[in-house]
Chains A and B, each alone.
Chain A
Amino acid sequence: MTFHWMQLVYALVSLFIVLNVGLIIQGIVRKIGARLGRRHGIRWYQLYLDLFKNYAMRSAVSHGIMFYLGPVFRLSGGIGLFLFMPVIYGSVWFQNFSGSGDLILLTYFIFFGTLGMALGAGESGHPYSAIGITRGLSQTTAAEIPLILAIIAIAVQYQTLSVTDIVAAQQGGILNWTLFTNPLATIAALLGFLGSMMRSPFDVVMAPQEIPVGPPTEFHSNFLAVLQTNRAIFPMAKTILYVNLFFGGATNWPVLIIKVFLLYMWPVFIGVAFPRFRVDQSIRWFLRIPTLIGILAILFI
């Protein structure tokens, strides 16, 4: 693969778009959630304000070098994941650096930030951080199983692990989407998706009641701002991956944004309807129905 400087420019442009989309969608979702709960809620652009405020703060204190590197790892993980993803199908430029690696790279790169953040939060010495991380890691291992099963199922179905090729195979009509050609894999993956979006019933990682905010407990001011930036990018990147794999991808930005918004609402709906699981409960849950569906998906390829 030859590198072209324009690639970098386009990658930064798409990164900027996704950051804004992420902030706005999350603002809107919080507004909707508040209204459903008969509260007034925040302004839809509140997240922008938080972000600007935190970036503007200068009174930073640090627990040590790894504490410092935690947010760096986290944001690099989010941006990296996005940068290795083909965004707009058919576009020459909005492919980011997806030529560096395939679906497997994406599934493993998700952990880059997680692990780095875990290290950074660990150095703060706050037990809540560590507790949140063990919960998060434990839950993730189980939630990944249905996803892995689904990925293997579609890899076998399309005989490729290249995301671009998988999107290409779904072109030509809504019935060509994996959602319809391989519904079982899609269901398994969507159930797994719930586990990675930090929403109820799988939000014990942040656990606002018992352990104030989980891993980021000790992060403040612009450390927190970096994390907030990532919170806008990372879920979007994951959602785009699902759109690419199961919902036909997107050939232009509006379609992508609509699909991402709709898919993003899936864990939101589940989240407002179901109460929270403990970690051991969620591990068992992921290893039962979703895993079974995943196995069926492979059996019925």
Chain B
Amino acid sequence: MTQPILFIALPLLATFFTGLTGKRYGKFQSAVMNLALAGTVLISAYYVSAFVSGTRQPYTASTAGSLPPFSIAFRMALPEALTLLLINGLGLLGLSALKTTFRQKGTLSAVTYLLYFMALNGIVLTRDLFNYFVFIEISSVALAGMVLFKESGRCLKAGFSWMMATGVISIFLILSAILIYVRTGALDIDNILLTDPLVLYSGSAGAFFLFLALIFELKPFPANGWALDVYENASPAVSAVFSGAGITAGLFALYKFLPIVGDRWLFPLIIIGLVTFLFSNILALKQHIVNRMLGYSSVGQAGLIAAVFGMGVLSKEDMFFIAASLMAVHALAKGGLFWLSHHTGYTSVYEWAGIRHKPLFIFLLGFYIFALLGFPPFPSFFAKWSLISALAAGPYGWMMAAILLGSLLEAAWMIRWFGFAVKGNEQTANEIQKTPPVYTLVPALLLLGLILLLNRSRFAFILTNAWIPLLFITGFFLLDFLPARVKNTFMIGGLGLYFYFLYPTLTEFRLIFAIIFLLGGMILLLAGYHYKGRRIGFYPSSALMYSGLVGLLTAGTTVEFFFWWELMTLGSYFLILRGKKSLPHALSYFLFSMGGAYTMLSGFGLLAAANQGSLALETLSSGGPFQAVIFILLALGFLTKTATVPLHIWLPGAHSEAESDVSPVVSAVLLKAGVFGLILLMAGMGPQSLGRVNLYTALGWLGAITALIGNLSAIFEEDAKRLLAYSSIGQLGYVLFALAMMNHLGWLTATVFALNHFLIKALLFLAIGGVVMRVKTRNMYEMGGLIKKMPLSFISVMIGIIALSGVPPLTGFAGKWLSYNATVLSGWYFQGVIINFAGLVTFLYCFRLIFTIFLGQLKDQHRQVKEAPFWMMVPQIILMGVILFISTVPNVALKPVGTFLTRYFPEHALVWDGPMARSLYGYWNGYMIMLVTGVVFAAVFFWLFFINRKAVKIKQFNIVFAGERPSRPELTHFAYNFFAPYQKALGFLVAPVSTDFWNRLSEGTHAIAGFIARLFSGNGQSYVIHQILFAVLVFFLVLGGI
């Protein structure tokens, strides 16, 4: 009994009916409107289920009981049904968003809204070219009416521009209908396609005009100012349906009519689509008005999906999956975002700080943004993956580049917006009510539903493998109302249980990194007991990050690996963003991570292409002709995470501005993800060279330079946490250097460095974090003499710096000894010298760290300072214990590592004799060193203690000071600009070259955006000229043989 015509009839009937009841929009009218749209939703849902279950077959219904060309045919099949479900669903939700508007404006406005949806339904259903023109006209006029829901001069102007521009589209469309009819004698798609292709396509101006009309419906860059003005000025509730439903219908029309246009236009379609995607996102960068930004994004996404339609390289199945996922996610997420904007009434991104203390709003905003950006587990993630993999199979590198660059820019402005919402200055914003309205929530639920639907896709295996961690994450989102301590216990317990179950399945490096990620995470989480209250958002973010980290270890395919990699990035971004002043640094972290992730994605895509689509991680060994390129792309991804120069500039800010118990996690644990990636890559792909350049030699140099620059930068820092952050860059440089050697000793060195870095940085960041909590500053010159107030923290830092600087007998020396041996073994003398110099520089900042904070003169304002909180000390004590244990019996840790390393590199393994290790060149006995040093130390100590047993402790200022007594501690605490001579001699080495480069790049992009944005003058006539010029340009380009 259901008929496609109902999609037209129901809204139309409701329109007439409400129109007849007068101007007042009351409950009754509202019910009628809702019923009409609910009806169309139900019918489309019925069709979807019928087509999926196979109870109905796709069919074409003709109106008026006769066949085309004498009637209009409506096609109903699964794609149509899905699209209609989406469009009408948004329409139904949009009704409640616009309820107040309708009440104020009366039934006429409501009628316009309903007509718009009737037209969109028609656009989706009709098979007739002229009929399409009719529905396009109706939708354009209806939208113009909806723009005027808001009364302002700008709206009027935007509406008028819109009418002029759509007029041009109508002209193109009607011209094409006439020309095609003349040539083929038909207006119906199916009949047109029956015509001999030679007749249809040869020099067809009809196809050209149809192409233009279809494209203009999607608002191609740069002839789209009229649409952007609408997005900016219309009520966001209107923009929501304009973007969500309107674009979906426009894209569907493109998909439907594309066969008539012909294959010749596919390539221009790709170009136009990608240019639009890329430039829309560049332009959005410069914007601060949210609705216009979202407009750019809508236009850009439409361009991307249009380009997908043009990609003949995609299989039909691929194209359906990609386009459907992107369209659905875009419609729902964009609808959600516009409605959020509508509800809050915030126009500028800065005002969005108003939702800062409303977790549900933040959650929704993040949910939609990350869905749009294609983060796992949203369908758009899998769509992006499929798209890039498919393109990687052919010579379409430039398309990949355009898509990924566009996505990166999209991430830039969206995350900036998100950052302002979470961390901005809330005083600028109006207060809003606490609970979000239903219409902003429903799209999120529908997106969740879409994720579950992925069970039926070919990526189902990920969700089957991932349901436990995903449940873990969801659990923390749901339990976020509990007190922090309870959640902390759950989290520690969860990680412990996970380790217990994973332990039997993990071997070799996976086991080592599982220990760092999970056991390390558990130790560091102990510090979380210090925090009272609820710490909203901390535990879900941690759950995301830890699940991501562990996922890297359990992943068996590249897509799984990437899935977890992205989740880890997401979680760590949220964690970093929690810091008080971390807004710009979290953004920079996120952007570098995304850049790295996208190069990684292209690398994995090329890899899959070289292996006939196989996704197993083992395929790393067979990279085909492009293996060097794959290696570089993947390595770039991992090197971004390990903050290798020049990709390091995000790290100091991100690590230092994070909270006291987050810094140790992101530094000690998270950086290891990059190391694990590098190990996986190097073990998988083996030696690589590009032309005559051995890539490992290049990596070795890069590691050495990173170590030097990281460490040198650290000594000139006044900020204790930034000092530690730079030190991490240096340490990770050692790891890269050692890994790049590709021999047994090198990899053993890297493992030792990685483990050490975990232990030491966790210890130091916790200790310094504890101090910062107490003295409320991070500037070392404002501290001093704290040993008397915080002796335990002092011991932590002392153990930490002795181990870090590699002085025997602590564990850092193991790394230095191995590193020397490996250097001589691989013949990397000069890199080795740089590494050693970097190691010496470590002494400088280590001394600065401990001296300026704990020694010297205690400041007056710190006389009441207490020892660091108990729960900050607990993990430190555990870590110190581990460091001392491993220092005494290094063989316990190193021997097993060496044993499994012989599988990768059988030659030059260490020979162990109890605690004595012998290499090809030298030997080292950690136990004896500890013993001799310990005995000598104890002997001297007790002797001195004995002869000085009557020593008297004297007061702070009782020092020999040129015969005077200093009056204030500040005058005698030597701490500021500590290594001035060093700066004078070698400061030029740490000139901010990389920072300048990235800053200029960012400024340059903004400048380009600013320049292009001048096109959009707001003048309707200019917009029409843009359209005409665009048409001419396309014509000549195609004539020129694109």
Contacts and interface: CB of A to CB of B under 8 A. Distances in A.
A122 B928 contact: no
B936 A161 contact: no
A68 to B, nearest CB: 7
A126 B969 CA distance: 10
| Most chain A C-beta atoms within 10 Å of own C-beta, residue among B841, B929, B945 | B929
B824 A104 contact: no
Interface stretch (A16-24, A134-142, A254-262): A134-142
A83 to B, nearest CB: 6
Overall SS of chain A's interface: helix
Contact of A161 (B821, B843, B985): B821
Contacts of A140: 840, 843
Contacts of B982: 138, 279-280, 283
Contacts of A159: 920-921
B280 interface: no
Nearest to B845: A137
Interface in B786-841: 787-788, 791, 794, 798, 801-802, 805-808, 813, 816-817, 820-821, 823-824, 829-830, 832-833, 836-837, 840-841
A118 B937 CA distance: 16
A222 B824 contact: no
Interface in A157-190: 159-162
A114 to B, nearest CB: 8
A218 B960 contact: yes
B929 A100 contact: yes
Nearest to B961: A126
Contacts of B856: 122-123, 125, 127, 130
Interface stretch (B314-322, B433-441, B556-564, B951-959): B951-959
Interface string A129-163: 01101110110111011001100110110011110
Nearest to A57: B947
A295 interface: yes
Interface in B505-552: none
B273 to A, nearest CB: 55
A192 B794 CA distance: 33
A149 B807 contact: no
B948 interface: yes
B85 to A, nearest CB: 69
A84 interface: yes
Contacts of A118: 847, 851
A287 to B, nearest CB: 8
Q: Which of B928, B940, B953, B956 has the most CB of A within 10 A?
A: B940
Interface in A260-300: 278-281, 283-284, 287, 294-295, 298
A27 interface: no
Interface stretch (A41-49, A87-95, A105-113, A237-245): A105-113
B932 A97 contact: yes
Among A137, A280, A295, residue most surrounded by chain B Cβ atoms (within 10 Å): A137
Given A109-B808, A125-B856, A62 B843 contact: no
Interface in B909-947: 916, 919-925, 928-929, 932-933, 936-937, 940-941, 944-945, 947
A167 B171 CA distance: 95
B844 A80 contact: no
Given A127-B974, A160-B922, A79 B844 contact: no
Contacts of A137: 843-844, 847
Contact of B837 (A104, A119, A145): A145
A60 B929 contact: no
A280 B833 contact: no
Contacts of B394: none
A127 B973 contact: yes
A232 interface: no
A195 to B, nearest CB: 12
A212 B923 contact: no
Contacts of A212: 960
Contact of A55 (B837, B843, B947, B979): B947
A138 B979 contact: yes
Contact of B840 (A61, A125, A130, A144): A144
B837 A60 contact: no
Nearest to B983: A280
Contacts of B829: 149, 152-153, 156, 298
A124 B924 contact: no
B785 interface: yes
Contact of A60 (B857, B916, B948, B958): B948
Interface in A35-55: 55
B5 interface: no
A160 B801 CA distance: 29
A283 B981 contact: yes
Interface residues of B, number: 79
A196 interface: no
A13 B920 CA distance: 33
A111 B810 CA distance: 12
Contact of A155 (B921, B929, B985): B921
Given A133-B847, A162-B923, A218-B959, A123 B855 contact: yes
A162 B794 CA distance: 36
A276 to B, nearest CB: 13
Nearest to B848: A134
| Max chain B C-beta neighbours (<10 A), residue from A125, A133, A222, A287 | A125
Contacts of A131: 974
A276 B632 CA distance: 50
**Most B C-beta atoms less than 10 A away, residue of A71, A123, A134:** A134
Contacts of B788: 64
A79 B937 CA distance: 9
Contacts of A122: 850-851, 855-856
B1026 to A, nearest CB: 60
B953 A64 contact: yes
Interface in A207-228: 212, 217-218, 222-223, 226
Contact of A124 (B959, B979, B986): B959
A281 B982 CA distance: 10
A145 to B, nearest CB: 6
A68 B808 CA distance: 21
A66 B855 contact: yes
A105 B941 contact: no
A75 interface: yes
Nearest to A281: B985
Contacts of A279: 981-982, 985
A197 interface: no
Contacts of B840: 140-141, 144-145
Contacts of A100: 924-925, 928-929, 932
A97 B951 contact: no
Given A61-B954, A141-B841, A71 B923 contact: no
A72 B921 contact: no
B972 interface: yes
Given A80-B936, A140-B840, A130 B851 contact: yes
B367 interface: no
A6 interface: no
B741 to A, nearest CB: 15
A1 B928 contact: yes
Nearest to B836: A148
21 contacts: A1-B916, A64-B788, A68-B951, A101-B924, A108-B807, A111-B805, A115-B801, A115-B847, A119-B850, A122-B850, A126-B961, A140-B843, A152-B823, A160-B922, A161-B820, A161-B824, A218-B960, A279-B985, A283-B981, A283-B985, A284-B985
Given A64-B788, A222-B947, 17 more contacts: A60-B947, A62-B948, A63-B954, A66-B787, A68-B944, A76-B936, A76-B937, A101-B808, A102-B921, A108-B807, A108-B816, A122-B850, A125-B857, A126-B961, A134-B844, A280-B981, A284-B985
Interface of A: 1, 55, 58, 60-66, 68-69, 71-73, 75-76, 79-80, 83-84, 97, 99-105, 108-109, 111-112, 114-115, 118-119, 122-127, 130-131, 133-135, 137-138, 140-142, 144-145, 148-149, 152-153, 155-156, 159-162, 212, 217-218, 222-223, 226, 278-281, 283-284, 287, 294-295, 298
